[in-house]
């Protein structure tokens, strides 16, 4: 999504627009700062800067490159924490939203209120999919504002899955790069999961490539490479393919979207969204999602049982788009479904 969290406060008649990491963005977004001048003095609000692409959808690439384009910027306000000097963080969000509406009429474009969506969850999900959006944010009506915390009172619900990963390499072109190579930490080991060329504009590709300067290393940082074959979905990195790669010190964290995890711990249809904000690479681990692909869950359960019971391995037939087969004393030649169905209960 093309959005970046921003807090805004007005004190002594001056507007201060700041990031989640407390960076000053007054100079970066002067039109938004000007439009927020109608806020009551001694007031703090919460919102996000959003850039829209040509089709009207939020775009992070458009936000990164808005200075060199005519990309429309908006500031969506969704909460107020301090109103005219009064701390209202202890009030429920339903009451805080009512207080927010009292002065939203005084604010000019491009400042807008992020509306409450009054519809059933299935209808909302269908609408998000139809418009190609990232997902929904749900908050309990009675929830209080908890600064600096991700409480269970609010949930981000993605249509596509997404999480942060560590960038550890790329495949080069004459100008910059074709795709980036990334993974996550499992203990002290960096594990490769995918490579992607999706999510870039020429400008954002060049900007990310500049971040690679000084990070080049000779040795592959991924503990699970090379892989024996390309795998069912073609994301495997074999020794032959690694010859086309350039490696980076694992210092950059990026936010990625993807359709699903594959049974062999890769990603399908991954897409780079943006560089992460402040998270240390060693803190990036695989995140489990409630919507994790059912086949992947079953496959991992089978793998665990095979290893625990001393059965050698499992494999996909190289180069064939077929279900994985398992090998072992009790499973030789059986298909994936047969093997899972025959597991002890």
Predicted pLDDT at 275: 93
Q: Is the pLDDT of residue 175 over 50?
A: yes
The CATH 3.30.470.30 domain(s) of the chain lie at: 3-145
How many CA atoms within 13 Å lie on the side-chain side of 273?
24
Distance CA 134, CA 160 (A): 7
3-class DSSP assignment, residue 272: strand
Predicted pLDDT at 208: 96
Q: Is the pLDDT of residue 182 over 80?
A: yes
Predicted pLDDT at 333: 37
Lowest-pLDDT range, 40-49, 92-101, 104-113, 144-153?
Answer: 144-153
Distance CA 24, CA 18 (A): 5
Terminal Cα distance for the chain, rounded: 43
Predicted pLDDT at 4: 53
Tokens of 328: 């072992």
Predicted pLDDT at 308: 55
Q: Is the pLDDT of residue 134 over 50?
A: yes
Question: Higher pLDDT residue, 108 or 235?
Answer: 108
Predicted pLDDT at 327: 38
Predicted pLDDT at 227: 93
Q: Is the pLDDT of residue 261 over 90?
A: no
Provide φ and ψ at 305, rounded to 5°: -65, -40
The percent of residues in the chain predicted with pLDDT above 90, rounded, is 45
Lowest-pLDDT range, 24-33, 63-72, 302-311?
Answer: 302-311
The model's pTM: 0.53
Q: Is the pLDDT of residue 303 over 60?
A: no
Predicted pLDDT at 231: 74
Q: Is the pLDDT of residue 91 over 90?
A: yes
Helix residue ranges, H only, the chain: 30-35, 60-64, 93-104, 121-130, 202-211, 239-242, 294-308, 336-341
Question: Higher pLDDT residue, 6 or 336?
Answer: 6
Distance CA 25, CA 32 (A): 10
Rg (C-alpha) for the chain, rounded Å, is 24
> In the CATH hierarchy, which top-level class contains the domain 161-283?
mainly beta
pLDDT classification of 304: cutoffs 50, 70, 90: low
Question: Higher pLDDT residue, 1 or 3?
Answer: 3
With a CB cutoff of 8 Å and minimum separation 6, the contacts of 165 are: 182, 183, 184, 193, 253, 254, 256, 284
Question: Higher pLDDT residue, 344 or 69?
Answer: 69
3-state helix, strand, coil in the chain (%, to 5): 20, 35, 45
Indicate the CATH number for domain 3-145.
3.30.470.30
Task: Tell me which residue of 111, 120, 34 sits closest to 80, measured CA to CA.
Answer: 111
Predicted pLDDT at 295: 47
Residue 48 contacts residue 32 (beta carbons within 8 Å): no
The CATH 2.40.50.140 domain(s) of the chain lie at: 161-283
Predicted pLDDT at 80: 94
In the predicted model, what is the mean pLDDT of the chain? Answer: 80
DSSP 281: G
Distance CA 120, CA 104 (A): 26
Predicted pLDDT at 176: 97
Chain-centroid distance, C-alpha 286: 12
Task: Tell me which residue of 151, 319, 335, 230 sits closest to 327, measured CA to CA.
Answer: 335
Predicted pLDDT at 98: 94
**Residue range 288-311: mean pLDDT, rounded:** 51
* CB-based contacts of 224-229 (< 8 A; 24+ apart in sequence): 224/189, 224/191, 224/192, 225/192, 227/192, 228/318, 229/316, 229/318, 229/319
Q: Is the pLDDT of residue 292 over 90?
A: no
Per-residue pLDDT of 271-288, as tens digits, reads 899 998 778 999 999 987
Predicted pLDDT at 283: 95
Distance CA 283, CA 75 (A): 31
Question: CA angle 246-161-124, nearest 5°?
Answer: 150
The percent of residues in the chain predicted with pLDDT above 70, rounded, is 78
Residue 266 contacts residue 236 (beta carbons within 8 Å): yes
Question: Higher pLDDT residue, 144 or 132?
Answer: 144
Distance CA 158, CA 267 (A): 16
């Amino acid at each position: 999504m093309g959005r970046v969290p921003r807090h805004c406060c007005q004190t002594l008649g001056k507007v201060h627009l700041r990031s989640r990491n407390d960076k000053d963005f007054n100079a970066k977004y002067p039109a938004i700062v000007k439009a927020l001048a109608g806020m009551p003095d001694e007031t703090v609000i919460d919102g996000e800067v959003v850039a829209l692409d040509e089709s009207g959808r939020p775009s992070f690439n458009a936000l990164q490159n808005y200075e060199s384009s005519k990309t429309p910027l908006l500031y969506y306000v969704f909460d107020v924490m301090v109103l005219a000097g009064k701390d209202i963080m202890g009030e429920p969000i339903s009451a805080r939203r009512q207080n927010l509406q009292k002065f939203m009429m005084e604010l000019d474009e491009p400042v807008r209120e992020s509306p409450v969506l009054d519809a059933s969850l299935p209808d909302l999900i269908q609408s998000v999919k139809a418009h190609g959006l990232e997902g929904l944010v749900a908050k309990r009506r009675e929830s209080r504002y908890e600064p600096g915390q991700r409480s269970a009172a609010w949930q981000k619900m993605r249509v596509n899955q997404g999480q942060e990963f560590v960038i550890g390499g790329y495949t080069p072109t004459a100008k910059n790069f074709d795709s980036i190579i990334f993974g996550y930490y499992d203990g002290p080991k960096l594990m490769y999961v995918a490579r992607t060329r999706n999510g870039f504009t020429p400008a954002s590709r060049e900007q990310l490539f500049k971040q690679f300067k000084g990070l080049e290393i000779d040795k592959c940082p991924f503990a699970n490479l090379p892989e024996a074959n390309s795998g069912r979905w073609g994301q495997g990195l074999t020794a032959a393919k690694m010859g086309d790669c350039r490696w980076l010190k694992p210092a950059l964290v990026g936010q990625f979207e993807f359709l699903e995890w594959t049974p062999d711990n890769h990603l399908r249809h991954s897409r780079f969204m943006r560089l992460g904000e402040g998270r240390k690479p060693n803190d990036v681990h695989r995140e489990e999602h409630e919507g994790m692909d059912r086949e992947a869950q079953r496959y991992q359960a089978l793998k665990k049982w095979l290893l625990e019971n001393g059965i050698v391995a499992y494999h996909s037939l190289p180069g064939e788009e077929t279900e994985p087969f398992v090998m072992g004393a009790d499973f030789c030649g059986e298909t994936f479904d047969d093997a899972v169905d025959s597991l002890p209960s």
